Amino acid sequence: MRTAQIERTTKETDIFLQIDLDGKGVSDIDSGCGFLDHMLTLFSRHGRFDIALKCKGDTFVDYHHTCEDIGICLGEAFKEALADKKGIERYGSEILPMDESLILTAVDFSGRAYLNYDVTIPAYKVGDFDTELVEEFWYAFVRSAGCNLHIKQLEGKNTHHIIEAIFKSCARSFKKAVSIDTAFSDEIPSTKGVI
């Protein structure tokens, strides 16, 4: 089974995260931030990843440390669950509409970390969530997971819709990338022979 369990404790956050990449999209998420809970629940469902997450963070400051550290843990969980990446498709992409918003994402679980974040979010906050933290979350993820991720906004005016489309599109891109190519299930998808 492609699963991982990550525990991370710092002076800013205390996080427990479990993931099953071959799940059904079942989630039990308590990040301490309602909006982030909503986004991670969508991510779980659309990627068909089973995720359990509990985070106690210094939310009396703001959600920055919570958001960044959950991104780190989720990236570490993907990296651990994928192990040597034998048999995976490796690449995945999705163009996803959410009402007036349209988001393109593309991922390569290459072992190299890079984020291209080409998004213009019109509002600084959704509820009490700072929208600049979306970029911080995905930066943290790619550094820990070791993947290239491109997120490009093609259309969008509503802040909630734009961010929701990002998480849904990433989930569906990741689902494709981590799926097993049954014709080559014993091969590393790289001419190097290792990722």
What does the alpha-carbon distance between residue 184 and residue 66 come to, in Å, rounded to a whole number? 38
Confidence of residue 146 (pLDDT cuts 50, 70, 90): very high
Give the range among 101-105, 126-130, 186-190 with minimum mean pLDDT. 186-190
- On whether the pTM is more than 0.95, the answer is yes
The neighbour count for residue 118, using CB atoms within 10 Å, is: 10
Q: Residue 148 pairs with which residues in a beta bridge?
A: 108, 114
Q: Sign (positive/negative) of CA torsion 105, 63, 66, 2? A: negative
Phi then psi dihedrals of residue 32, to 5 deg: 90, 0
Which pair of tokens denotes residue 125? 């906050």
For domain 3-184, the CATH superfamily is Imidazole glycerol phosphate dehydratase; domain 1 (3.30.230.40)
Residue pLDDT, tens place only, 150-174: 999 999 999 999 999 999 999 999 9
* The two structure tokens encoding residue 166: 């990002």
Look up residue 111 and give its DSSP letter. Answer: S
